[in-house]
C-alpha cells in the first residue's frame, strides 16, 4: 500500500496514518485529508474481492449521497469519495467518516460485559432508531442487504446509533451477488429463491432486534446445541430450510428453556421483553418465516419502540428502569421481581387501530407521536403534555399543557373546562381531555 490515496473526484490527497483493521473484503486505514487536516477512514479492497460490479455499486452510493434520517441521532458511515493510488487504475476503495469508538460500542461489547448495558428505555430508543435508519434507506430507493451485528454501533447512555458497513447497500431489487450473513438472511434469500431487497430486509432487521433484546439468535435452541459441525449446510437447514423459533408456542422441538447455554436469553425474554414485543417477534419467526405478510412493517416497529421508550418508570424498590406496553398487569420489575404500583393510565384514541396507553407516573409525558402515530421525525418526542405530581397531594398527578393552544377538559360529571397553555388540571379517573382534536381518557388500571 502506498503512503497516500488520491480522491478520484476531488483530486485531494489522503495521507495514510495507520492501519485500523482488516476484513474479508479489504483493509481499513486511518487517513488525513492534507488540504483541511480532517481525519477519515479509507477502505481499500483486496484484489480477490474486487469487481467492476462492486465498484459501480460504490460509485452509485457516492453519487447519491448519504440518506438523511428524520432524527439526527442516526449517523450513517457512508462512502464519501472513491479513491485510488495517484493515477493508477489498479484497485479501488473509498473514503468514509470515522466512528467515535470512545462513545459508540457494539452489541458484542455489551453482551460480554465489557461496557455497561443500556437500560430498557434506552434499548427501546436504540431499536426505534435502528428501524428508522433502515426505513430511511428504503425510502431512498435502496436496500441494505447485509444486516448483521457488525453493522450497528450504539451509545448506551443516549441511545444514538451509527450504521456502519454501508458499502453493500444497493438500489432496491437489483440483481446483485450480495446475500448477507447466514444468521440474518431471510429464508428465501438463503434458499436462493429471492435476491436481497427491501422486503427481505424486514426479516433481517427483526433478527437484529431480537439479538438486541435477547442477546441470542431466534432459531438457536436445543436443536442447534446438538450440532457439532456448525457449517453452511447446518446453518441453511436451521435458519432457512427448517427453522423453528425457540419460543414457538406450537412447536417446542427447538425450545431454549432448560438449556444452561441459553439461560440468559430465556431470562431476558421472560423478564425484559414486554408482551406486545413478544407477539411481534413470534409473528415474524413463526408464520413470517415462510409468509412475508406476517413480518412486521418498519413503521409498526417504530411506533411500538417509541411507546415503550415513553412508558418508562423506576422501580421504587431497586431503582431499575422498567417499561410498560399497556398490557402488563401487574407490572413486575424485571430485576427484583417486585410489583411496581401505578393506579392510572391515559388512553389515547388517535383513530388508528388500538388505543395508545400512557402511564401516569413521574417523568412520563404525552408526546407528539402519541397524538400522531405516524409522526416519526425530530418532533416525535416533543412533550405535548407534562405529567407532574399534584402540588397538594404527592400521590396524585396533574397534566400541564405544554402546547401553544388550549385543550378541552371534562370531568366525570360532565363539567367542562378550558386548559390554557402552561395551565394544568388534575388527572382524575374517567375525566376526558381533547388535545389538538385527539381524545385522551383517564382510566384506572
Rounded to 10°, the helix 120-139/198-214 angle is 170
The three cell numbers of residue 445 are 388500571
90 vs 308, higher pLDDT? 308
- The Cα 92–Cα 56 span in angstroms is 11
- The Cα 327–Cα 259 span in angstroms is 28
Structure confidence at residue 249 (pLDDT): 95
State pLDDT tens for residues 374-433: 777 878 899 999 999 999 998 899 999 999 999 999 999 999 999 999 999 999 999 999
State pLDDT tens for residues 105-145: 999 999 888 999 999 999 999 999 999 999 999 999 999 99
Residue % of the chain over a pLDDT of 90: 77
The three cell numbers of residue 382 are 416533543
The yes/no answer on whether domain 342-444 falls in CATH 2.60.200.20 is: yes
Structure confidence at residue 262 (pLDDT): 92
SS3 166: helix
Structure confidence at residue 40 (pLDDT): 96
Is the pLDDT confidence value at 88 over 60?
Answer: no
State pLDDT tens for residues 164-184: 989 889 999 888 777 889 999
- The Cα 430–Cα 347 span in angstroms is 10
Question: What contacts 229, CB < 8 A, 6 or more positions away?
Answer: none
Pairing of strands 407-410, 432-435: antiparallel
Is the pLDDT confidence value at 357 over 80?
Answer: yes
Q: Using omega within 30 degrees of 0 as the cis cutoff, is the peptide bond preceding 330 cis?
A: yes
- The Cα 181–Cα 200 span in angstroms is 13
Pairing of strands 142-143, 152-154: unpaired
Question: What contacts 385, CB < 8 A, 6 or more positions away?
Answer: 365, 366, 399, 400, 401, 402, 403, 435
> What does DSSP assign to residue 59?
H
Q: Which parts of 256-323 fold into alpha helices (H)?
A: 263-272, 275-285, 287-290, 298-310
**pLDDT classification of 86: cutoffs 50, 70, 90:** low
CATH class of 101-310: mainly alpha
State pLDDT tens for residues 288-345: 999 999 999 999 999 999 999 999 999 999 999 999 999 888 899 999 999 999 899 9
Structure confidence at residue 50 (pLDDT): 76
Q: Which residues of 77-132 form beta strands (DSSP E)?
A: 81-84, 93-96
Name the residue among 19, 70, 37 with its Cα closest to residue 302: 70
Is the pLDDT confidence value at 226 over 90?
Answer: no
Residues carrying CATH 3.30.200.20, the chain = 1-98
Residues carrying CATH 2.60.200.20, the chain = 342-444
Residues carrying CATH 1.10.510.10, the chain = 101-310
**pLDDT classification of 355: cutoffs 50, 70, 90:** confident
Q: Rounded to a whole number, what is the largest CA-CA distance in the chain?
A: 83
CATH of 1-98, one of 3.30.200.20, 3.30.590.10, 3.40.605.10, 3.90.1150.10: 3.30.200.20
The pTM of this model reads 0.94
For the beta sheet containing 438-444, the strands, ordered from the edge strand earlier in sequence to the opposite edge, are 356-359, 344-349, 438-444, 432-435, 407-410, 416-419
Amino acid at each position: 500500500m502506498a503512503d497516500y490515496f488520491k480522491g478520484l473526484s476531488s483530486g485531494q490527497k489522503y495521507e495514510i496514518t495507520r492501519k485500523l483493521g482488516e476484513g474479508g473484503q479489504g483493509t481499513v486505514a486511518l487517513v488525513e485529508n492534507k488540504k483541511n487536516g480532517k481525519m477519515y477512514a479509507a477502505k481499500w479492497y483486496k484484489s480477490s474481492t474486487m469487481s467492476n460490479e462492486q465498484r459501480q455499486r460504490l460509485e452509485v452510493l457516492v453519487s447519491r449521497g448519504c440518506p438523511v434520517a428524520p432524527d439526527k441521532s442516526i449517523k450513517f458511515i457512508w462512502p464519501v469519495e472513491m479513491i485510488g493510488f495517484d493515477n493508477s487504475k489498479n484497485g479501488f476503495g473509498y473514503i468514509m467518516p470515522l466512528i467515535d469508538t470512545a462513545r459508540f460500542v457494539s452489541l458484542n461489547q455489551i453482551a460480554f460485559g465489557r461496557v455497561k448495558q443500556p437500560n430498557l428505555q434506552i434499548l427501546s430508543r436504540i431499536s426505534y432508531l435502528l428501524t428508522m435508519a433502515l426505513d430511511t434507506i428504503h425510502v431512498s430507493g435502496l436496500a441494505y442487504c447485509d444486516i448483521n451485528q457488525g453493522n450497528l454501533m450504539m451509545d448506551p447512555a443516549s441511545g444514538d446509533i451509527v450504521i456502519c458497513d454501508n458499502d453493500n447497500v444497493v438500489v432496491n431489487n437489483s440483481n446483485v451477488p450480495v446475500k448477507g450473513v447466514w444468521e440474518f438472511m431471510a429464508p428465501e434469500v438463503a434458499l436462493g429463491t429471492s435476491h436481497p431487497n427491501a422486503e427481505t430486509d424486514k426479516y433481517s432487521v427483526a433478527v437484529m432486534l431480537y439479538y438486541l433484546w435477547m442477546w441470542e439468535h431466534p432459531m438457536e435452541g436445543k436443536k442447534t446445541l446438538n450440532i457439532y459441525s456448525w457449517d453452511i449446510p447446518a446453518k441453511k437447514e436451521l435458519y432457512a430450510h427448517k427453522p423453528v423459533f425457540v419460543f414457538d408456542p406450537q412447536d417446542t422441538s427447538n425450545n431454549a428453556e432448560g438449556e444452561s447455554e441459553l439461560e440468559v436469553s430465556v431470562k431476558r425474554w421472560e423478564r425484559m421483553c414486554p408482551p406486545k414485543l413478544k407477539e411481534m417477534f413470534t409473528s415474524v419467526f413463526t408464520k413470517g418465516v415462510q409468509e412475508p405478510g406476517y413480518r412486521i412493517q418498519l413503521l409498526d416497529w417504530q411506533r411500538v419502540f417509541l411507546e415503550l421508550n415513553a412508558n418508562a418508570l423506576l422501580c421504587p424498590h431497586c431503582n431499575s428502569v422498567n417499561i410498560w406496553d399497556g398490557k402488563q398487569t401487574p407490572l413486575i420489575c424485571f430485576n427484583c421481581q417486585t410489583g411496581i404500583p401505578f393506579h392510572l393510565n391515559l388512553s389515547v384514541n388517535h383513530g388508528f387501530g388500538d388505543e395508545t396507553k400512557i402511564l401516569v407516573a413521574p417523568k412520563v409525558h404525552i408526546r407528539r407521536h402519541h397524538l400522531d402515530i405516524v409522526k416519526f421525525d425530530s418532533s416525535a418526542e416533543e412533550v405535548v403534555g407534562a405529567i407532574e405530581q399534584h402540588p397538594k397531594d404527592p400521590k396524585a398527578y396533574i397534566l400541564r399543557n405544554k402546547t401553544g393552544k388550549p385543550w378541552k377538559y371534562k370531568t366525570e360529571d360532565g363539567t367542562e373546562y378550558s386548559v390554557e397553555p402552561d395551565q394544568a388540571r388534575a388527572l382524575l379517573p374517567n375525566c376526558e381531555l381533547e388535545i389538538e382534536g385527539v381524545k385522551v381518557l383517564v382510566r384506572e388500571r
